[in-house]
Amino acid sequence: MVSSTRSFGAASVADLMASIGTIPAAGIGSAFSFERAGGRSIDQVRYACREITLPHSLPSCVTYVFCDDLERTATACDFDEINLVWTTDTSVVLADIENRIVLISRNGGAGCCSKSSYPKMSDHAKAITALGLGTSATIIFQLQSSVVTLYPSGIASGVHEQRPFGVVSQLLIGDTLEKTLDQFDDTWVNAPSGRSKVWADIEGHTHIPSESTEKVIQVQLQFALKFVDSGSLIMDELPNPDGRADLLLYSETPAGPHRVILELKVLRSFSHPTKRAKGVSKVPNSANEASALEVVKQAWSYRSHYNAHRACARLYDMRKPPVDGAVKTKSLALASKLSVDLWISDVQFTSQDKRNVKVEKALASMSDVSGEK
């Protein structure tokens, strides 16, 4: 127990503890910078406007991003070189959805060569209109605000509607998590330097003992997810009455905490101790089937316990071919019934396996193309 009379120089424990109690309900997170806005705002806007019929077909839909009020002085070149670069960068990305994004600081000018600052919305409107974008459909995406404002006929019209908006972690939007897991497989689990160097060639082991495989993946994945998104906390091995949750993605949003459960399991052909020389034993099909079903049950069970928005499970299939496809079919069927997102990842062992997968993918894409024709 920490004494409340203890102090850190001029700071007392009591004051420090009291300050934690003043943290807003939306929590604190990594600060939102223009750098991040450039990469993230698109998905955030998409998420915020998922129920809004966006005029995507229009060639220029302008999204204004206002940062929080900061000490900033409007200078002769307030549409500065740096922000101009950002505008260009984001325009490139936004070309995918035929949008444009203009990054503006609320009290720092509206992207125009002017000494004036634009504290009022009407001033921003005039400035944007002067740029020839006044009649483009517009979304006002205000950082640290709880609403987005949609101007369907452009900012010049003044007609607008407000929609609730909450900044959520990237990993919680759409299929980002699934894509991230796929990328993790491609760049780590199935990468030549990944498996061969880390999984097999480790000190004291000729290979990873089967009991440790899931843990190794879990630790690696945990770090990979952190690198993808620093906006959420990735917690691991959370004990609960039903067992231990492998990974819990936790993100504070204006609407409250948002949680996603992610369970992992590995399917293997052989189980063996630390040294391969000590012998290996075949893993029966029934054991793999039990694992495949168990991961779905765990995810389902932990979802309710942690009041998670989503339960996800990932099966790493490391079995040597030929494999029994029924294991996957049964677990997928159970996942479907329990509304668990189950993804199966095939871990390739040899270069030959990898080549075969590539060829299969290529053939599949060719057949898709010919089918379309």
Partner 1 sequence: MTHAQPSHFRRYWILLVLRATCLAGSGTVSSDFFHKLVYYVNALLPSVGLPSETARVMKASYGPFFPEYQWDLDRLVGAGLVEVADLQWISTDQRFFGKYRITRRGQVLAEHVASGTGGLADIERAISEMVSAFLSTPAALTTLAAKLDANFGQDTVREGQVIDFGEWSGENHSRDAAKFLFHNWLTRFALPVEPIGISAATSNEEIAENAGIAPQLVPFQADKVVDEKNGRSFHLYANYLVHRLAQQSSVTVGA
Angle at 331 between CA 326 and CA 335, to 5 degrees: 150
- Beta-carbon contacts of 143 under 8 Å, excluding residues fewer than 6 positions away, are 32, 37, 65, 66, 67, 68, 167
For partner 1, the closer of residues 103 and 155 by Cβ is 103
C-beta of 253: minimal distance to partner 1 in Å? 13
Residue whose CB is less far from partner 1, 137 or 266: 266
Of 87 and 136, CB closest to partner 1: 87
314/328 with CB nearer partner 1: 314
Cα separation values, 302 from 77, 219, 247, 341, 354, Å: 54, 19, 10, 13, 34
Q: Of 312, 271, 268, nearest to 291 (Cα)?
A: 268
Distance in Å, CB of 152 to partner 1, minimum: 27
Q: Which tokens sit at 89? A: 């960068």
Footprint on this chain of partner 1 (rule: CB under 8 A): 8-11, 13, 15-20, 22-23, 28-35, 67-73, 75, 80-83, 85, 103, 105, 108, 144, 188, 198, 202-205, 212, 215-216, 218-220, 223-224, 226-227, 230, 233, 235-240, 244-245, 248, 250, 257, 305-307
Q: In terms of Cα–Cα distance, which of 262, 269, 287, 264 is closest to 210?
A: 269
How far apart, in Å, do the first and last CA atoms of the chain sit? 72
CA proximity to 167, closest of 151, 192, 145: 145
Task: State the nearest-atom distance from the C-beta of 249 to partner 1, in Å.
Answer: 13
User: In this structure, what DSSP letter does residue 320 have?
Assistant: P
Q: Which residue has the tokens 């779905």?
A: 296
| Residue 141 near residue 44, CB atoms below 8 Å | yes
**Least Cβ distance, residue 246 to partner 1 (angstroms):** 10
Smallest distance from partner 1 to CB 316, Å: 15
Of 12 and 135, which CB lies nearer to partner 1 in the complex structure? 12
CB of 169 to partner 1, least distance (A): 11
Structural tokens at position 27: 């929590």
Residue number with CB closer to partner 1 (126 or 305): 305
C-beta of 30: minimal distance to partner 1 in Å? 6
Identify the CA nearest to 97 among candidates 142, 154, 158, 139.
Answer: 139
Closer residue to partner 1, CB minimum distance, 205 or 330: 205
